[in-house]
Amino acid sequence: MNRSQVLLSISLAVVVLIVLTLPILAHEGHGKGEVAPYDLDTPRKVSPETAAHIGLQTAEVDFGSVEEVLRLVGVVKPLPNSIAAISPRIAGTVLKIVVQVGDTVQRGDLIAEIDSPELAQFIFEARKLDTEYFELLGEVSGAASKVEALLVQVEASAQHASIVKAEYERLQTNEGAIAVNVLSEKQASAVQAISEAKLREIELSLAEQQLESMNKQAESMQDSRDALGEVIALIRDGAVETRIVATGDVNLIMGGNSDERTRHIGLMRLYAPISGIVTTRNVNTGEGVESGQALVEIADYSRVQIEGELPESLVERAMSGTNNKVRLRRVSDRNGDVIATGHVRFISPVIDPIKRTTHIFVEADNPQGLLRDGMYVDLSIVLREETSAVVVPVSSVVIDGPMHFVFVKDGDFYKKQDINPGYRDDRFVEVLEGVLPGDIVVTRGAYSLTQLRPKVETLAETAADENDSAASETDNAG
């Protein structure tokens, strides 16, 4: 490489170095003046463009409340009773599914219609059994009437036998005065009357046994009717509120003739047991389904449960009450806006032997649906509250090692101010020393201010302001 090529390479390198250095020398990304050496304690003057770029916001320091909170992470889950699977209690063929995934349904809305020959057979058997049962009841009634008639006949036969026997015994006492043939005739009549009374008693006994047998048969048939009725009722009134369209109702519902009623005797209509959102649909029209097969699942996320793990060492603090208020935020924005509030419902008494943690359960309302199933959220569990404290937002405080400071707005400048913090929760930090109520502090963009280098003219303005302030104080003293 000759001398001219070397000089050209060096020149290009210097140009590149200057180009790369210019953005570093520029102030606030927009300024064009010289910048001073980096000094965190130097007041900063921020242009409107830069303030908008870093999202600079301020607020006045005031009295407020600060809470002692416990910060955990939990996962959102539906409440145990807020998910329902819509499934038939008996096999059949899907005639119609009226909902799609994502549809919002109310309790009692129609979900599906299923045609079940097996259900039709159940209903046919139930009606046949009803017919036989009522016929048997008629026979039982006839047998009971026969027993009552036999009771009358037995009583009459017994009285007749008693009269004939008494007359024979009276004649027998006067045996010499009564002809032998007459006495024999009375004796035969007495024997016949007694025999007829015995036969009536035997006939009555058989009739009573037959009535008892028929009653037992009727009871057994009633049990069968009840059992079959319970099966049908279980299909009709199960957890998914399946309703059967019986033959007598089909004409009203379907508007058809008797042939249609016969054809749809096994029609089932499944209704939503809860209000919520359709999360899954597993079948289509025309598919066969088995008993207990889930057709559709509905979930209600208007109120959810958050499960977290509480370290064993913090259980005693958290047990100050099982109804502690809880604020929920996105894990990605732990100091951002609260997306929901809830309360601690339960702290498990069981400690995991390996992780040394226990489960904590939080319930929260979710009217806007911001809490989604499986979502991780930051939990701020309020343990106690300190009122009437000087507080600043958490976003105002910058932590640099052991030091805590805020930026206080003074005219056009933002000055770093060290503070002595007290209690700190997920919203505010108590300030024991450093700022007073009425001071204006940066609430958003404080960390970005630490990265800005002040301009030289800014330092000059600051020095001039300080000199003017000192001169004013001197004049006032004079």
Within 10 A of 26 (CB to CB), how many other CB atoms are there? 16
CA distance 89 to 26: 75
**Average pLDDT value for residue range 270-285:** 92
**DSSP three-state, residue 250:** helix
What are the sequence ranges of the domains in the chain?
Answer: 47-79+303-451, 80-116+266-299, 119-236
Fold of 80-116+266-299: OB fold (Dihydrolipoamide Acetyltransferase, E2P) (2.40.50)
Query: What pLDDT band is residue 233 in, cutting at 50, 70 and 90?
Result: low
What is the chain's percent helix, strand, coil content, to nearest 5?
40, 30, 25
In this prediction, residue 237 carries a pLDDT of 47
Read off the pLDDT of residues 38-91 as tens digits, 9 standing for 90 and up.
677 888 888 888 888 888 899 998 888 777 788 899 999 999 889 999 888 888
Going 88 to 92 to 97 to 101, the CA torsion angle's sign is positive
Token code pair at residue 462 = 């600051």
The residues, ordered by sequence, that sit 6+ positions from 166 with a Cβ below 8 Å of its Cβ are: none
Identify any residues that bridge with 308 across adjacent strands, giving them in sequence order: 74, 360
**Average pLDDT value for residue range 381-399:** 86
Which is higher by pLDDT, 290 or 423? 290
Same topology, domains 47-79+303-451 and 80-116+266-299? Answer is: no
In angstroms, the first-to-last Cα distance of the chain is 76
* DSSP per-residue string spanning 132-148: HHHHHHHHHHHHHHHHH
Please provide the size of the chain in residues. Answer: 478
Which is higher by pLDDT, 341 or 458? 341
pLDDT at 248 exceeding the cut of 60:
no
In this prediction, residue 419 carries a pLDDT of 92
Identify any residues that bridge with 429 across adjacent strands, giving them in sequence order: 392, 424
Instruction: Tell me the whole-structure pTM to 2 decimals.
Output: 0.56
In this prediction, residue 407 carries a pLDDT of 92
In this prediction, residue 465 carries a pLDDT of 54
Mean pLDDT of the chain: 77
In this prediction, residue 22 carries a pLDDT of 44
Q: Which has the closest alpha carbon to 146: 216, 214, 211, 213?
A: 211
Which is higher by pLDDT, 370 or 462? 370
In this prediction, residue 455 carries a pLDDT of 62
Read off the pLDDT of residues 324-364 as tens digits, 9 standing for 90 and up.
889 999 998 877 788 999 999 999 999 999 999 999 999 99
In this prediction, residue 10 carries a pLDDT of 57
pLDDT at 157 exceeding the cut of 50:
yes
Burial class (CB in 10 A: 0-12, 13-18, 19+), 187: middle
CA distance 241 to 236: 6
In this prediction, residue 8 carries a pLDDT of 54
Which is higher by pLDDT, 246 or 327? 327
**CATH says 47-79+303-451 is which class?**
mainly beta
**Average pLDDT value for residue range 154-158:** 75
**DSSP three-state, residue 189:** helix
8 Å CB contact between 312 and 358: yes
In this prediction, residue 13 carries a pLDDT of 56
In the chain, % of residues over pLDDT 70:
73
Q: Which of the residue ranges 188-192, 194-198, 263-267, 268-272 has the most confident prediction, judged by mean pLDDT? A: 268-272
Query: What pLDDT band is residue 404 in, cutting at 50, 70 and 90?
Result: very high
Q: Say which amino acid occupies 79.
A: L
Q: Which has the closest alpha carbon to 252: 274, 267, 270?
A: 267
CA distance 78 to 236: 27
CA distance 222 to 50: 88
